[in-house]
Amino acid sequence: MINCYELNGEFNENGMEFEDFNEIENGINKNAVIFHKFPVQVILLIINEYSKKIAKDREILRMEGASFLCFYLKKTNMEKQLKFNLKNIEYLNDFVQVEDEKYVKAQPRGIVCHWIAGNVPTLGIYSVMQSILCKNGNILRVSRKNVGTVYKLLILLANINVEYEGSEYSSNILLKNIAFIYFDSSDRNLNSKMSLKADVRIVWGNKIAIDSICLMPKKTTCRDLIFGPKYSFAIFDRSAIESDDLEKYLDNLVTDIIAFDQKGCSSPQVLFIEKSKLSIRNIAQMLSLKFERISKRYTNLDLEEAIVAKIINKRGEYLLSLDKLAYISKGLQYTILINNELKLEEAITGRTIFIKEVEDILEVCPLITKNIQTIGIASKDRKKMLEFSDKVTTVGVDRVVKIGYMNIYDSPWDGCLIMSELVRWCSISINGMI
């Protein structure tokens, strides 16, 4: 059974029940006619007001990642993302002349079906807002544990009115192009039915979930955007470690670690430090102090039993080893583990970070695969960072960002310009027609 919590702009906290997607699809297709006439500038204004409503809601702001979401939805950022993806946002409004007698327009692909992983509560909003900007209809399926979070976020989009060029527009038209649903992820029948409604399938999840959805039947015209499990780590080079900004870099690293309980694909699991005047022990001690301070503000650490077991086992292994070190909190607030093996450790999460020292940051290059999403960097040497970034992105890394920004959603993401994939590029050539 499909539980639908928002359809045609109407919310139901308990969920309306459907056996298939026909009524949902019909509602979205009907609403698309009006939505197609919305100037993209109006959508940007509405989303900007939406970000303000989120920022004013204290309960919402306590949600994991809500502050990042506010920044992302600001008009200046969304407009920048659109221009980066499409070059000219007017492509979304009209046929734009590109040659003497040739015109091009970015038309919506149709219905975008989103399968959203449960590790980042706000992920569904990021995904659906990019699709809405491209004027698509949307079926948004989230995990059971995030239904309440997404419901509270999505309902804030209701009843926003903006004025543009003398006309008034309502955000409720955007909502009418979003169906917010949940059904059991193991239900192959409903997954299959949803897949067949999709003109674009966007799948965020682990390998098992992705493989399952990818094997579902789909339209021959359907486009797939797949965002599977990835691994991320951080690097501090010598110039950063020996600079006056080391304290700030460590603060930013802790921020990257604690976000989303370290379960995001962009969360750092290992810190590589370049050999410097400071020993690895000095840096670990400084990092532990940063954790101690920030743990007083971020006290909500609800760890799953399996993660707790992993942390306890790793702590025991390192505390009993002669060639390993551990800096740990009294409780499970943080765990810093030091060893001299040049490898990427299994992600433990739960504020667990491995630290390793290297002579040169280029020593990490042989570890890179296409499974590496983000490297967070602290450095004062711009030329060195550009050279390093070129090397690691050549062999697989998608993003290299300054430390503190690892979990900030950006474009491109996982090597993909998402919004450019959510439109169909249509052209008309009028040579000889007049």
Q: Which domains does the chain have, with CATH numbers?
A: 2-228+414-429 (3.40.605.10), 231-402 (3.40.309.10)
Q: pLDDT tens digits for 29-58? A: 999 999 999 999 999 999 999 999 999 999
Q: Say which residue the tokens 């926003």 belong to.
A: 160
What is the phi/psi pair of residue 325, to 5°?
Answer: -130, 155
Instruction: Order across the sheet with 268-274: list the strands.
Output: 325-328, 335-338, 352-358, 268-274, 231-236, 372-378, 399-402
For the cut 60, the answer to whether the pLDDT of residue 141 exceeds it is yes
What would the two tokens of residue 321 be?
Answer: 């080893």
Question: Residue 161: beta bridge partners?
Answer: 170
Closest to 199 in 3D by CA, of 19, 425, 422 = 422
**Residues 194, 200, 204: CA angle, nearest 5 degrees:** 80
Mean pLDDT estimate for the chain: 95
What would the two tokens of residue 289 be?
Answer: 């102090």
Share of the chain above pLDDT 90, in %: 93
Share of the chain above pLDDT 70, in %: 99
DSSP for 103-168, please give it. EEEEEE-SEEEEE--SSSTTHHHHHHHHHHHTT-EEEEE--GGGHHHHHHHHHTTTT-EEEETTEE
Tell me what the mean pLDDT of segment 314-325 comes to: 96
116 half-sphere exposure, CB direction, 13 A CA radius: 28
pTM exceeds cut of 0.85: yes
